[in-house]
Each structure stands twice: as C-alpha cells, then as structure tokens.
Amino acid sequence: MKTLKLITAGIFLLVCSLTQAQVSVNVSIGNPPPWGPAGYTEVEYYYIPDIESYYDVRNEQFIYYQGGTWVRASSLPRQYRDYDLYDGYKVVLNDYHGSTPYVHFSDHKVKYHKGYRNGVQITNGVKKNKHGRGNK
C-alpha cells in the first residue's frame, strides 16, 4: 500500500512538472491619436521632425523644447498652432521605452531632419474639415 502511494505521488509530481502554463499578456500602451500613423497600436512615442517635437501616446502629451527645457503639454506651443498634424510626417520610435525620448534628440534631429519623409503615411483617423466632417 505504501508503495502504491509513493508511485501515485511520483506520477502526480511528474505530470505537474511536465505541464506548462501558458500566459498571454495584452499590453495596452495608449490610444494613438487620429492623426497618428496607422498600423502602430503599441507605440509609446512619435518624433515629429518638422517641429522637432515628440508625442507621448500613453500620456497624450506633446514634448517640446522651450525656454531651455523640455516641456510636456496637452497641446503644441503657440508657434505651432497652425501645424497640421495629419499632413506632417511622424516617426514611430519603436526602439525607446523610457520617459525621456529627447535624450536622443541630437540623433533624431540629424536622422529625421525637418522635411523628412519616408513614403506616404496614412493616419488612424480622417482629418475633419471646418464643418466637422471628414475630408474625402
């Protein structure tokens, strides 16, 4: 009887050790803005070469250099109020996962200069006209 219990316990432990748990993790970084490039749902930052600024998707904030420091704000500064985010090119930064993407600004500024384009960029949403309807 004792041998049967040992064999049963041994088989149980063997089966438990061979069983693999499968874990699925779905990370939601944030909701990309409608003017963001389509096809990138798990991006943290965009670099916007034309205005040398960043956009933090998770916190829905622009990051730009002003007055000798990097500033985070929900909107662009006054000098860029007429900048068209739908038509401007956005570089998706897949290789950075911290909280200060501007530590690489000198590299980004050279690699993605003002006017930089890498093909046609489709946005997540449709740009609305002055009447609040999507343009065709």
**Residue range 67-97, pLDDT digits in tens:** 999 999 999 999 999 999 999 999 999 989 9
- CA triple 10-13-17, angle to 5 deg: 140
Supply the DSSP symbol for 9.
H
Residues 10-35: tens digit of each pLDDT:
676 656 565 544 443 334 456 899 99
Residue among 90, 42, 51 at smallest CA distance from 73: 51
Residue among 122, 119, 105, 99 at smallest CA distance from 47: 105
pTM of the model: 0.74
Burial track 10-22 (b if 16+ CB lie within 10 A, e otherwise): eeeeeeeeeeeee
CA 50 – CA 8 distance, rounded (Å):
70
